[in-house]
Amino acid sequence: MTTTRPFRTHPFTRACAMASLSLTGAMATPVLAQDTQGEVDELREQVQELQRRIDNAVSEAPQPDRDNPYLVRDGDGIKIGRTTISFDGFIKADAIFGSNGDGTKNTYSVGIPRNFAAAASSGESDWKTGFTARESRLAIGSKTDEVAGHTLRTYLEMDFNQDADAPGNEVVSNSYAPRLRQAYGSWNGWTAGQTYTTFTNLAALPDILNQGYMAAFIYTTQPQLRYTMAAPGGKFMAALENPEDGFGTTSYDDQSYPDLTARYQLRNRYGIYSVSGVLRNMEHDNPAGEDDEKLGGAVSLSARIPTIGRDDLRLQYSYGHLGRYMGLFTYPDVDLGEQAAGEVDPLTTYGATAAYRHFWSPTWRSSLVLSQTEIVEDLAFSPSGALGDFDKVASIHANLIWQAHENFQVGLEYAHWDFRAIANDSNSQYEQVMASAKYSF
């Protein structure tokens, strides 16, 4: 069945047609023009009024603002109003092969020296295999212009690389909950939230697949309030950061004052250099006796020095009461024997790292990393089990990485760890081979 709809002309079209016919008739027959002149004038006024309404509607409509559009592409982000939102991160797939038993339990690819030491002293000689994608990261950033005269930035970053005993399993789902890495905002030189400690210099971080996890590097994220200001040749930063002490999974959590950190960074064509320090108030609330506390501190020097072509040398040396700030909490913050007696005695350690990165070609590169840390004082407690039976740790990393594209790299890395036992000065070793593919976005 066919439905017929009546044809209705647009008022503007009808007016134009009638005006046209009228004008044509006026030219052809002067008498008719004289009779219809009033009707033509009326139609002309209607057309003019309609045109005025169209012009007013166009002039009053919102116009796109090139400096502040509602939704446009802005660099690597999307601008909504005055705020640019950006997303980035990477998918990282790792295959880990560890000697002397599996030092990366539950495919915990990060690993820590204490786990490696336990594997090295296990007496096993077979290699274990683990696969993981838990180091994959997702980050959301924002930039808002002209917030009280300054740019406001925020950053939120997470991964899934939790402890070996975190909820999740490798039997069926391999599902793991997200983990907060960084969450901070910055405005007019002030940064508040959780990010890397001011005590470290990430520019000197070696380029390895298991990033940041060599024996002695300063590599910690924690909540803080930081101020950054320009300084001759670079910048100066000072911060109040979350205080913490303990060892392993034990947190004493009885600090009265925040950690005070500061760093001066110099940057020029000769490289990036920094000197940093930390002051820490070590406390122990002893239920059976008097409380005790001591002021501790440490310093760290680091550099990233360009050499030949794109090659560079990265160095870091740290000394003092480093505790949890160095080597993923390799050593406790205080002498555990003294602590058991109700005394606080900050443990003095040192750490040194040297890394050379060489480019074989624009897309192929390698890094050789040497790192060592050691307790530099006699301990009052029995070493049995307290430190995994070691007081000196050395690591070597060597890799080959193919950067096929800025968003895609694959690599192979070998790591060797050496642990010196406290009691008998013997050594045990742990080895690891890691293959990795990283897809950035």
What pLDDT sits at residue 286? 64
| CATH number for the domain formed by residue range(s) 71-440 | 2.40.160.10
CA-based Rg of the chain, rounded to a whole angstrom? 34
Specify the pLDDT at position 186.
Answer: 97
pLDDT-flagged residues of the chain (< 70): 1-38, 40, 52-76, 101-111, 122-125, 163-169, 246-254, 285-291, 378-389, 423-424
Q: Domain ranges in the chain? A: 11-60, 71-440
Q: Residue 47: what pLDDT?
A: 74
Q: At what angle do helices 11-28 and 30-60 cross, to 10 degrees?
A: 150
Tell me the Ramachandran region of residue 46: left when phi exceeds 0, alpha when psi lies from -120 to 50, beta otherwise. alpha
Contacting residues for 116 by C-beta, under 8 A, at least 6 apart: 98, 103, 417, 419, 430, 432
**Residues 80-110: tens digit of each pLDDT:** 888 899 999 999 999 988 887 655 554 444 4
The residue length of the chain stands at 441
Torsion angle (degrees, nearest 10) of CA 165, 170, 173, 175: 30
